[in-house]
């Protein structure tokens, strides 16, 4: 039974990963940075996609650093910055300004969502499982 | 206390006395402690205030005041101090130092005579958390200023110190800390979950000790400045850990114990709407703070920063309504469903509402810990800069003034936040069913009445999980 479960898990993971890679696309995003937000503020890609980003500053110097991927660029007024990377980790990652641009700078962030957001679904399943298990054990309790 | 095991593993009555070690006991009984720590802390606060005043409206991430208070202190408070050491911050908090000094007329020695000031008693109907609830909520209206602007931090901290002093002139002892301080309320609430406590060691010794020196004071120390009765208190909520009871007890009967986290949640004493609302307000603030600080929506940041008056007023209205009405309203519906499901007609709905509100304490603390991780991991490296150049005068005291911004483990942030929420969800539901048994006298009623509350806690956890990871 355990071996069967492992095989199923392996196959499902493999399908998700390889179909993701097989249908990998290239995405280009032009992200405009202005105190203290990005436009677009959320970008969604699929796992395996190649992501190219151009950062355009609309006021002062801004930067962009993507958590988990460690890639960074800066944009000065009139001088864009760019970088590219392969979105090989699923989940939601914050991208944040890497150049002090004003008082709210530490909170100038956006989200990169690499689908499928397995991390969120896994945690949500764990919560639901714990809740269900709690209900099960409590229903069995005797005075 | 029922003799049960938390998660089937740890005896809920387990505790380990740290003050049985001679060095710890000596420190706790010394008059130099926590006074020296407090004076050190005051000196740091003076630097914070100076940096805030000098820093003006510059970017907060390069200001000593903003970084130490809103990044380091806040994170330490939520991540370590409150969960592990209860209200240890209150032990070293410099806010009431000046009023203590004024009232006693002495800083180090004991004044066994009359204290200075009016020494009035706080109005009876305000002896609860309501003033702190409203005070803290109103303070968060200005979060878009004081968490990022040095001068706003200066004004806020300066006002609190001044208020503490004025209240100390009028009211007795630590009235300010007990009933007014914005920081006190949520510490009190979440300290019920803390993994440590100050309690008497042997109940019989306290019973036989006719002269309650821990309350009245003696030549070794002051009677409880927090107006508690240390010989019989059972919850951390209002104990500011000033350690006077260690000094005044002639039988060495006070101890500092490690314990099972959350034990106080099962103590059915002084539970009330004020603490229930505190739990809602804290969840509401956590959500608003997350959306405005760690969320990607510029429109929300503009509202919090008051770029337009209309936007700012909308933020205040939504924030207040959500924390004071919407959250409690949803919880009320689930409480009503709980009572319906239990089929118990005798238990008042108010009791159901209040008792189950305590299940929000562990998950609430977990939400704040997860939020704090999202503050410290990306922004912690700024601290290396500001300790070397606290006043932005070009100093390089420790050679770290030019240390570049370095986010730490931010790729793991989602994992850490998710794991934190799950751990504290576990605590919430572990205590939740026990609270259900306290609420409903019959086991089957408790089982049925628990189901809607479990659903609520699961929904809350999933909501924050979605916010942090989704």
pLDDT tens-digit profile of B253-277?
999 999 999 999 999 998 999 999 9
Q: A25-116 belongs to which homologous superfamily?
A: Cupredoxins -  blue copper proteins (2.60.40.420)
Sort B194 into a burial class: Cβ within 10 Å, 0-12 / 13-18 / 19+: buried
What residues in B contact A34, CB-CB < 8 Å? 298
Checking if the pLDDT of B380 tops 60, the result is yes
pLDDT digits (tens, 9 = 90+) for B106-133: 988 999 889 999 999 999 999 999 999 9
Q: Which residue of A has its CA nearest to B431?
A: A134
Checking if the pLDDT of B387 tops 90, the result is yes
CA distance B130 to chain A (A): 31
Q: With an 8 Å Cβ cutoff, is A88 touching chain B?
A: no
pLDDT of residue B1: 47
pLDDT of residue A12: 61
Residue A41 to residue B297, Cβ atoms within 8 A: yes
What residues in A contact B426, CB-CB < 8 Å? 130
Q: Which residue of B has its CA nearest to A113?
A: B470
What residues in A contact B466, CB-CB < 8 Å? 120, 124
What residues in A contact B443, CB-CB < 8 Å? 141-143
Q: With an 8 Å Cβ cutoff, is A103 touching chain B?
A: yes
| Percent of chain B at pLDDT exceeding 90 | 95
CA atoms within 13 A on the CB side of A116: 11
What residues in A contact B408, CB-CB < 8 Å? none
pLDDT of residue A23: 76
Provide mean pLDDT across the span B436-458.
97
Q: Which residue of A has its CA nearest to B445?
A: A139
Residue A126 to residue B433, Cβ atoms within 8 A: no
What residues in B contact A118, CB-CB < 8 Å? none
What residues in B contact A59, CB-CB < 8 Å? none
Of B379, B381, B390, B395, which is closest to residue B64 (Cα–Cα)? B390
pLDDT of residue B60: 83
pLDDT of residue A10: 66
Domain ranges, ordered by start, for chain A:
25-116
pLDDT of residue A141: 87
ipTM > 0.90 (yes/no): yes
Provide mean pLDDT across the span B148-157.
95
pLDDT under 70: residue ranges of chain A? 1-2, 4-22
pLDDT of residue B58: 72
Residue A91 to residue B426, Cβ atoms within 8 A: no
| Percent of chain B at pLDDT exceeding 70 | 99
Provide mean pLDDT across the span B64-80.
95
3-state helix/strand/coil string of chain B: CCCCEECCCEECCCEEEHHHCHHHHHHHHCCCCCHHHHHHHHHHHHHHHHHHHHHCCCCHHHCHHHHHHHHHHHHHHHHHHHHHHCCHHHHHCCCCHHHHHHHHCCCCCCCCCCCCCCCECCCHHHCCCHHHHHHHHHHHCCHHHHCCCHHHHHHHHHHHHHHHHHHHHHECCCHHHHHCCHHHHHHHHHHHHCCEEEEECCHHHHHHCCCCHHHHEECCEECCCCCCCCCCCCCCCCCCCCCHHHHHCCCCCEEEEEECCCHHHHCCCCCCHHHHHHHHHHHHHHHHHHHHHHCCCHHHHHHHCCCCHHHHHHHHHHHHHHHHHHHHHHHHHHHHHHHHHHCCCCCCHHHHHHHHHCCHHHHHHHHHHHHHHHHHHHHCCHHHHHHHCCCCCCCCCCCCCCCCCCCCCHHHHHHHHHHHHHHHHHHHHHHHHHHHHHHCCCHHHHHHHHHHHHHHHHHHHHHHHHHHHC
pLDDT of residue A138: 95
Q: Mutating which of A71, A101, A104, A132 best tests the B interface, going by the most B Cβ atoms within 10 A?
A: A104
Instruction: Share the mean pLDDT of chain B.
Output: 96
Residue A37 to residue B296, Cβ atoms within 8 A: yes
Provide mean pLDDT across the span B409-437.
97
Count of Cβ atoms closer than 10 Å to residue B346 Cβ: 8
pLDDT of residue A2: 64
- Give the lowest-confidence range in B54-63, B170-179, B315-324: B54-63
Q: What is the C-alpha to C-alpha distance for residues B430 and B81, in angstroms, rounded to an integer? A: 23
Angle (deg, nearest 10), helices B443-469 and B273-289: 20
The 8 Å CB, 24+ separation contacts for B403-406 are: B405/A98, B405/A100, B405/B381, B406/B381
Checking if the pLDDT of B433 tops 60, the result is yes
pLDDT digits (tens, 9 = 90+) for B214-230: 999 999 999 999 999 99
Q: Mutating which of B363, B414, B427 best tests the A interface, going by the most A Cβ atoms within 10 A?
A: B414
Provide mean pLDDT across the span B236-252.
97
């Amino acid at each position: 039974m355990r071996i069967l479960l492992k095989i199923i898990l392996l196959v499902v993971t493999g399908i998700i990963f390889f179909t993701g890679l097989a249908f990998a696309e290239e995405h280009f995003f032009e992200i405009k940075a202005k105190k203290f937000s990005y436009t677009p503020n959320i970008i969604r890609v699929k796992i395996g996609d190649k992501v190219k980003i151009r950062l355009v500053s609309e006021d002062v110097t801004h930067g962009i650093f993507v958590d988990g991927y460690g890639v960074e660029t800066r944009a000065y007024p009139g001088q864009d910055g760019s970088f590219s990377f392969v979105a090989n980790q699923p989940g939601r990652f914050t991208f944040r300004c890497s150049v002090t641009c004003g008082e709210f700078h530490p909170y100038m962030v956006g989200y990169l969502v690499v689908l499928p957001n397995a991390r969120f679904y896994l945690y949500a399943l764990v919560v639901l499982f714990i809740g269900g298990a709690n209900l099960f054990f409590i229903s069995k309790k005797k005075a | 206390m029922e003799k049960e095991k938390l998660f089937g593993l740890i005896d809920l009555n387990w505790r380990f006395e740290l003050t049985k070690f001679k060095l710890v006991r000596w420190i706790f009984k010394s008059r130099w402690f926590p006074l020296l720590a407090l004076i050190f802390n005051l000196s740091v606060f003076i630097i914070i205030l100076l940096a805030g005043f000098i820093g003006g409206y510059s970017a907060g991430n390069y200001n000593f005041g903003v970084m130490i208070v809103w990044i380091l202190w806040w994170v330490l408070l939520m991540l370590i101090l409150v969960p592990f050491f209860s209200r240890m911050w209150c032990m070293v908090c410099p806010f009431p130092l000046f009023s203590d000094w004024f009232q006693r007329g002495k800083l180090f020695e004991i004044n066994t005579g009359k204290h200075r000031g009016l020494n009035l008693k706080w109005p009876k109907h305000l002896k609860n958390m309501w003033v702190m609830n409203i005070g803290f909520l109103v303070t968060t209206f200005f979060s878009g200023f004081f968490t990022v602007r040095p001068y706003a931090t200066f004004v806020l901290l300066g006002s609190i110190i001044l208020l503490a002093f004025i209240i100390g002139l009028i009211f007795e002892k630590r009235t300010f800390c007990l009933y007014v301080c914005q920081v006190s309320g949520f510490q009190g609430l979440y300290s019920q979950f803390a993994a440590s406590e100050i309690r008497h060691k042997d109940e019989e010794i306290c019973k036989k000790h006719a002269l309650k020196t821990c309350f009245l004071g003696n030549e070794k120390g002051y009677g409880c400045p927090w107006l508690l009765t240390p010989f019989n208190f059972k919850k951390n909520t209002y104990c500011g850990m000033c350690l006077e009871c260690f000094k005044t007890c002639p039988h060495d009967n006070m101890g500092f114990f490690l314990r099972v986290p959350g034990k106080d949640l099962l103590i059915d004493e002084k539970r009330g709407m004020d603490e229930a609302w505190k739990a809602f307000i804290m969840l509401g603030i956590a959500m608003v703070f997350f959306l405005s600080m760690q969320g990607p929506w510029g429109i929300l940041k503009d509202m919090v920063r008051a770029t337009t008056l209309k936007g700012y007023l909308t933020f205040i209205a939504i924030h207040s309504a959500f924390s004071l009405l919407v959250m409690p309203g949803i919880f009320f519906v689930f409480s009503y469903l709980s009572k319906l499901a239990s089929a118990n007609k005798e238990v008042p709905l108010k009791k159901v509402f209040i008792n189950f509100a305590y299940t929000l304490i562990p998950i609430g603390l977990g939400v704040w810990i997860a939020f704090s991780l999202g503050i410290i991991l990306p922004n912690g490296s700024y601290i290396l800069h500001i300790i070397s150049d606290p006043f932005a005068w070009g100093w390089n005291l420790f050679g770290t003034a030019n240390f570049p911004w370095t986010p730490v483990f931010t790729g793991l942030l989602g994992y850490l936040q998710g794991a934190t929420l799950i751990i504290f969800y576990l605590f919430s539901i572990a205590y939740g069913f026990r609270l259900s048994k306290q609420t409903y006298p019959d086991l089957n009623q408790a089982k049925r009445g628990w189901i809607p509350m479990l659903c609520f806690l699961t929904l809350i956890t999933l909501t924050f999980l979605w916010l942090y990871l989704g």
